[in-house]
Structure formats: C-alpha cells, structure tokens
A and B are shown apart, each in its own frame.
Chain A
Amino acid sequence: MPDDIPPAAPATGSTPSAGAPSGAAASTAPAAPSAPAALELRDISKAFGQVIALRSGTLRLESGSIHALIGENGAGKSTLVKIIAGLYQRDAGEFLLGGESVDFRSTAESKAAGIAVIYQEPTLFPDLSVTENIFMGRQPLKGLRRIDRAAMREQALGLFQRLGVRIHPDRPARGLSIADQQIIEIAKAISLDARVLVMDEPTAALSGVEVDRLFAVARALRDEGRALLFISHRFDEVFALCDTVTVMRDGAYIATQPIAETDTAKLVRQMVGRDVAELFPKQEAVIGDELLRVEGLTSPLFADVDLSVRSGEIVGLAGLVGAGRSEVVRAVFGVDRYDSGTVTVEGRALAPHDPTAAMRAGLALVPEDRRAQGLVLGTTVARNLTMAIRSKLTKAGILTRAAENQAARVWASRLEVKSSALDAEVGTFSGGNQQKVVLAKWLATNPKVLIVDEPTRGIDVGTKSEVHRLLSELAGQGLGILMISSELPEVLGMADRVIVMREGRVTAELSRADANPESVMSAATGAGAAA
C-alpha cells in the first residue's frame, strides 16, 4: 500500500543533497547584501490592465550558485522571468545587476548585459544550422564585414567539446531533440559569456539521462562562477541540484532559504499556503473483464508492445521521457500509424489509424500536450467540451449551439470547470482548469477505457489531487484507465499494475505489491537501481 511512498518526495531515490555549498551561508531573507549579488530583484510589481501578475517579486542570485524558484502555476514565476529577460518591463521595484540598477527595454538589452534565458521550449531557428543558431546576430566577421564561417564553425565545435556533446555543427536545428536544443541554448549562453543563466523548467521534457547531462553542465557553469536560476515543478530535482530556493505564491515573494534547511513538506506549505491532502491513493475497485488489449504493437518508435487494461483497473505506464509511451498510446488511439500488431477493445479488433473508430469503440485519450493537442485554444469552453461528441448532438444532421450548450453545461458542472460563461475562450484558463475541460470533454464520450498521458503535468497541487480523486472514482465506476506518468509517486500511488517501458519496449510488468521506486526505475533505465 502507498503508505511507504514519501509525499511528493524525491522520486528517484536521490536524497536531498546535504552539502549545499555556498547557499548555506546565505541568510533566510534576501536583504542586507554585503557584496552585490549577480542579480537582484526587489519588490518588483507588474500589472496588465486590471490584472496584477506580480505584486512583489523578490529574488537574489549569487555568483557561483544555483538558485531554485518554485511556486504553483500563476504564482508569478513566468512574469518574473520575462522581466529578467527584458520581454516585459516592470511597473515598480528595483532591478539590480551586479549592484547596478538596470532597465531592459528588450531581450536584446538583457542579453547584452549578460543574462541568458533558456525557455521550457527552446526557440531555435529550425532552418538554420546549429552553428548559426548559436551565433546569430554576432557572427565572427572578416573583411568587408563578411561572416567568417570557418571561424564560427570552429568556435561552435569548441563549445560542443566543452559541453561534451556530439552535435554536427552544420546540421539544421530542425529535428533536434528538446534536450539537444537546450544544449544549443546553453552553448549560446556560454558563447555570450552570460553571467546569469535562467532556466525555465528545462527538464519538463527530458529523459533521465538527459537530465543528468543537463545537471552536470549546470554544475560546471556554477563552478565557473556563474549565477543560475532554475525553475522547476519537480522537488527531487530542486533538492538534487540547487543551493538555495525561493518560493513564490500569488505573485508575491514568500521565502528564500538554503536548500539544506528545508524539506518538501515545508516547501509545499509555503507554495500552497496551507497543508494539502497528500497524493490521493487509489480506492479499492472491483477488477473486472479485460477492456483493452494491445498485442505486438510495432512502429519505428516502439516494438512488440503488449499491454491490457481491465475494468476498474488503473494501469500505470512508467518510463523515462522518450521511452515511447506517448507514441504507443497515440498509435492505440489511432492518431499515429503503426506497422504491425493489434488493438482490441472488448474483444473486437480496432481499425488502425482512425481515432473516430477508437472513440466509437469506447476509447478516450487525454493527450500529453494540453494546449496543443487537448484543446482547441481559440474557441470556447462549450465547443471544446462538445468537440468529441459533436456528432452525437445532432438532430437530423443539424448541430445547434443550444444543443452544445446543454451538453457543455452538464459536463462543466460535473468537473467543476471554473468559468462564468460557456462562450469563454479556454486559452484564458489556468492549466488545471484547462485540464478539467480536457477530462470533461473525454468523459462526455462515455468511454470504457480512459487513456491519460501525464494527466497532472504542470497543474497546481490543488487540481492535481482533484484529478487523482477523479481517476480513482472513475475506476470505481468500472472504467479501465491507462495512465502515463513520469512522476513516480503518482504511478505508485495510483496504479494497480505498472507497465514499464524503455527505448520503445516493455521491460517490466509489476503488480502493485512489486512496484516500488527501485523496481520501476531499474526497469526504466535498464541499470540497477536509479542513481
């Protein structure tokens, strides 16, 4: 039973690093600096019209130190980062860089001042070579102000060597993995000799190996005396990497503390402002007949995948990012093609590459990328809620707004979607509220099997436990649930059975009793217990 699962705790077994080097000396409040900090923000505020995005952003980054910034969605982290990057201009407060007050009007100015920001989704120019991407706008020149391509290439190779990566300097950025794109961004920052590096959730889409590589690079940069800001939702990473942590809530600074003097529970309390119910463990449900069976599913991205889901059962699909889990469920649901294998729902074979057939058979898929795949962002709550059932709402082939609204109202209230009107655009919603819309949209199809891909990624702690409760209740009502999650506590807490994938293949199938961090991680990494 999940009693032995540490609450929202370091999942990979890495313990909070004890010896936080320089951070330990920092005071608990970022006031009274003796030497000028690498970067310091004091009581920064920013409003957009009526909406206050940031009330009092306060942050102090020291050279040679990695600083974590955590907070729920909407806490103001992104706004703060965008002010540092020069994308937004602050309304009030102080912004000091190496003790000097600065005022960035554009990203170019902050870059020139030695700040590099690496966004969650790196923004490279896909058609240009990685070398050009690194040096755009400041390429080495030769006579007549012509670009010296040979010199540029040499410098790029030097950077890659220093970072210990093998990327062809002439290849276009298109097609690079997210991890490699981040490496290019870091190479860019180093070539700029940036003193301050901001990484906005850099690990969200990385696999374990890639995270390790990134952390190694980050530590090397710290040891060179640069200041790093690391924004993450994952506590285990914060504890493994950072020296100091600042918590924000509702657009305001809450606390800064050395990492050694805090723990997960304390951070969560600071983030949420109260104690939250811990991970909602799955209720007991009667496990019934097999609903979904996948046999020998093979494509260029995965091979020989077998899995099954029974009524009342939650099956966790664990593995590192890039193990092929999302690709498998996309193929099962018919969004992607597969080369061979079969998918059967309640004993009947499902036609390949046809999501409509999958829906008719009783499958529903809550996809990985909520904003790009789950929702049609430019349209209303009602249209999104009824998107998957729009054909069922017609009378004589005619679909009216009234019919849509009627159905939408039912599902919006069932999942307590926060919206005053049904014609509000979902793009304006918070991440958690958006995820409720996606879940409602698929529950409206009255599925027999619900596939959820990272159902709680990037949503606030409160909605997260709501989602867990919902999934548990649905299983109790007899649905079969297949859940992909990269959060080990979530998988271990929720799943009746855990299937682990590595490099496109199923490497383990563990019962609830056998599933623990060690067994899952060793199957996911192929090594012994995870480091």
Chain B
Amino acid sequence: MSTTASAAGSTGETRAYRDYGRPLWRRVLLSREAAVIALLILVWIVGYTQVPHFAAPITLTFLLQDMAPVLLIALPMTLIIITGEIDLSVASVMGLSSALIGILTQQGWAFGAAFLVALIVGLVAGLVNGVLVTVVGLPSLAVTIGTLALYRGIAQGLLGSKAITDFPSEWTSLATGNIPGTPLPIVTVLIVVLALVFGLLLHFTPFGRGVYAIGLSADAAAFSGVRITRTKIILFALAGLVSAVAGAYYTLRFGSARGDNATGLELSVVAAVLLGGVSIFGGRGALPGVLAGALLIGAIASALRLAGITSDVINVVTGVLLVLSVVIAGLLGKLRFRRLRIVKS
C-alpha cells in the first residue's frame, strides 16, 4: 500500500496506466458483436456456396427491403434498451403512420404533406411513451404494451378493414427502386445515414455515455449530471419518429395502407437488438452487433426461402438463436461475474 505518498499534486511515483487490460485481438474477437458478425459471415458464405440464387443480386435487394423496417427501428430501440427501458409500441406506431398516410392521401392531401403529419404523430406517440415512463414514472414494459394496443387501436379505428392502395408512383418507386447501377434498394441510403447518426450518438457523444450510465446505474448517472428524464424522452420520441418513417416505407413498398400493417414487428425488432448483444438489463451492447443481428435474421430467412424450405422455419431459427445467444452469453457472464466477485471479496 502506497499510503504515504502525497495524494494531490502527485509528488509520489507516477503510475503507468495502459489503455487496455487485454490485448486487441481478445477485446475484439471475444466480444459479443464479433460472434454475431462472424455468424452473419458464416451464413453468408454457406448461402453463397450452397444455396442456389443466394448469390444473385436480387436476393440482397429483397433482403434489405424486407429487413429495412427492422433495421431502422432497431437503431433507436438499441439506445432505449441500453437505458434499461423497452418500447413495444413501435410496430403500432408504424400501423398508425400507415393508416394516417392512407386516409390523408385519400382525402386529397399531397403525399408529402400526409407523410409529414405521420411523422409528427409518430413523434408525439413516442413523446407520450416517454412522458408516461419518466414523468409519471411507470414501467416501460407495461406502458408500451398499453400504447401498443392503443396506437394499433387508433390505426384500426381510423381505417377499419379498409386498405388504401392508391399512392403516387414517384413515391412508391422510392420504396421499391434501387440505387441506380446497384442491387441496393434506395432505402439503404436511409438505413446507412441513420445508422451513422445513431452510431455517433451512442458511441461518440456525451449523450451516448449518459445512455450507458443510465442503464448501468441511474442513481450514479443522476449524480454525475446526466439528465435522465430528458434523455429517455428524447429516445422514446426518436423511436416514435423512426417508426413513423418505417411505417411510411412499409406502406409505399407494398402500396397498401392498412390499420394492421406490420403487426407483431416489435418482437422482431426486439429480437434483433437482443440477438445483437444488447443486454435486456441495460448498460451493455453496441450498434454494429445489432445491425449484424438484424441482417443475420434476414440472411437466414432468404437462404431458407431460396433453399425451398418454407420460410416459416425462420421463426424457429430466430427463436432458437435468440434463446441460445442469451443462454450462452449468460453462461459466459456467469463465469465473468464469478471472477469479479472473487476480487471483491
């Protein structure tokens, strides 16, 4: 114990602090994200070599189109789950956005204007979640099961069983077309841009550090000046906004606005986020893993479909992967925890 050295002003020996306790390869390769990315690459290689037509560009196009809503909403969902909360209402906000766009365009609104209204409503829907969770102080799981029913109910109440299918082709082609000269759908641009924005926000800003701190220890975060209420409200609002965008995309892609559009998609989003290595208890996880998680689900679905296996198997695969990933992570974590506890005692 170097108890005699002076504390402030550091007159004693200076200590050398390494940046990292473990070598680079261990940090990178043993991370949860690396495992998901490796699995994604593996599925890709198997698909490419074993599954007919998997290598065709159109496969990538469909995969990205199919997974676009999940990829988009998984971005804000990742941040929300890292703060220790959850938002199950996202697919209902998609449905609400879809229904609004349908009704308003049918009444003669320009698509752009209808889209804007849908965005605002999505933002408000997210704000309502955020306020109920933070200001009123209710558990987000219960709140968003409630708003899941509420927002979906409004969407279905507005449209009934109607489907509105008449959308201007310049807009639908945005959702179905590709970036010229590539197999990548135009929505890829949106995904990449938003992924960069959310990636920067989470990993390279003081706000992002606050997000992790809230999930690990809300008390300590508050004592360090992290604005918990504001942070969470912003995240829920962002989830609402992005879900509204995803709802508009969904509507245009299928050319159909219905109250029950994207029912159940919230579970796919949560599955992708958790599969990507985000802890349901908050505080841990990273965006690259989540993107890989979503793409992994998409790639397996594509491969199965092309291999002639009924694509419903994807549900089994998703479920089993999700369970396995957390069980394995749990077992590894238990080992780690045991080591931690030792040092403490």
Q: Which residues of A contact B (CB under 8 A)?
A: 48-51, 53, 78-79, 82, 276-277, 333, 335, 355-356, 358-359, 365, 367, 369, 372-379, 383, 387-388, 390-391, 393-394, 397-401, 405, 408-409, 412-425, 427-428, 436, 441, 443, 462-463, 465-467, 469-470, 473-474, 477
Bound together, the chains give a CA A49 to CA B344 distance in angstroms of 13
B135 within 8 A of A: no
Q: Which residues of B contact A376 (CB under 8 A)?
A: 212-213, 216-217, 220-221, 224
Q: Nearest CB to that of A381 among chain B residues?
A: B17
Q: Which residues of B contact A387 (CB under 8 A)?
A: 209, 213, 220, 224
Say yes or no: B220 contacts A373, CB within 8 Å: yes
Q: Which residues of A contact B1 (CB under 8 A)?
A: 462
Stretch at the interface among B4-12, B59-67, B169-177, B242-250: B4-12
5 contacts across the A-B interface (CB closer than 8 A): A379-B212, A387-B224, A398-B200, A422-B20, A423-B20
Say yes or no: B21 contacts A473, CB within 8 Å: no
Say yes or no: B206 contacts A394, CB within 8 Å: yes
Bound together, the chains give a CA A436 to CA B8 distance in angstroms of 11
**In the assembled complex, how far is the CB of residue B3 from the closest CB belonging to chain A, in whole angstroms?**
4
Q: Which residues of A contact B222 (CB under 8 A)?
A: 335, 355, 373
**In the assembled complex, how far is the CB of residue A457 from the closest CB belonging to chain B, in whole angstroms?**
16
Q: Which residues of A contact B204 (CB under 8 A)?
A: 398-400
Q: Which residues of A contact B338 (CB under 8 A)?
A: 48-49
Bound together, the chains give a CA A418 to CA B7 distance in angstroms of 12
Q: Which residues of B contact A48 (CB under 8 A)?
A: 338-339, 341-342, 345
* Residue of B7, B342, B343 contacting most chain A CB atoms (<10 Å): B7
Which one, A383, A399, A409, A423, contacts B205 given CB within 8 A?
A399
Which one, B212, B284, B345, contacts A78 given CB within 8 A?
B345
Interface residues in B182-225 by Cβ distance below 8 A to A read: 200, 204-206, 208-210, 212-213, 216-217, 219-225
Which one, A79, A379, A398, A423, contacts B216 given CB within 8 A?
A379
Say yes or no: A469 contacts B7, CB within 8 Å: yes
Say yes or no: B217 contacts A416, CB within 8 Å: no
Bound together, the chains give a CA A428 to CA B1 distance in angstroms of 17
B227 within 8 A of A: yes
**In the assembled complex, how far is the CB of residue B218 from the closest CB belonging to chain A, in whole angstroms?**
10
Q: Given A48-B338, A51-B342, A376-B213, A474 and B18 touching (CB < 8 A)?
A: no
Which one, A465, A467, A473, contacts B9 given CB within 8 A?
A473
Q: Given A414-B10, A416-B12, A397 and B216 touching (CB < 8 A)?
A: no
Say yes or no: B225 contacts A356, CB within 8 Å: yes
Q: Nearest CB to that of A393 among chain B residues?
A: B206
Q: Which residues of A contact B284 (CB under 8 A)?
A: 378
Q: Given A51-B342, A422-B20, A415 and B7 touching (CB < 8 A)?
A: yes
Which one, B5, B7, B212, B217, contacts A372 given CB within 8 A?
B217
B310 within 8 A of A: no
* Residue of B3, B6, B9 contacting most chain A CB atoms (<10 Å): B3
Q: Which residues of A contact B208 (CB under 8 A)?
A: 399
B316 within 8 A of A: no
Bound together, the chains give a CA A365 to CA B223 distance in angstroms of 8
Contacts beyond the supplied A379-B212, A473-B8: 6 A-B pairs with Cβ under 8 Å: A373-B222, A376-B224, A387-B209, A394-B205, A413-B15, A466-B3
B283 within 8 A of A: yes
Bound together, the chains give a CA A148 to CA B7 distance in angstroms of 61
Bound together, the chains give a CA A415 to CA B206 distance in angstroms of 24
B340 within 8 A of A: yes
Q: Nearest CB to that of A355 among chain B residues?
A: B225
Q: Nearest CB to that of B4 among chain A residues?
A: A277
Say yes or no: A470 contacts B8, CB within 8 Å: yes
Q: Nearest CB to that of A405 among chain B residues?
A: B19
Q: Which residues of B contact A82 (CB under 8 A)?
A: 345
B2 within 8 A of A: yes
Say yes or no: A359 contacts B225, CB within 8 Å: yes
Bound together, the chains give a CA A463 to CA B5 distance in angstroms of 11
Q: Which residues of A contact B217 (CB under 8 A)?
A: 372, 375-378
Q: Which residues of A contact B225 (CB under 8 A)?
A: 355-356, 358-359, 388
B14 within 8 A of A: yes
**In the assembled complex, how far is the CB of residue A209 from the closest CB belonging to chain B, in whole angstroms?**
27
Q: Given A378-B216, A387-B213, A405-B19, A399 and B344 touching (CB < 8 A)?
A: no
Say yes or no: A397 contacts B205, CB within 8 Å: yes
Say yes or no: B17 contacts A420, CB within 8 Å: yes
**In the assembled complex, how far is the CB of residue A476 from the closest CB belonging to chain B, in whole angstroms?**
9
Bound together, the chains give a CA A441 to CA B8 distance in angstroms of 13
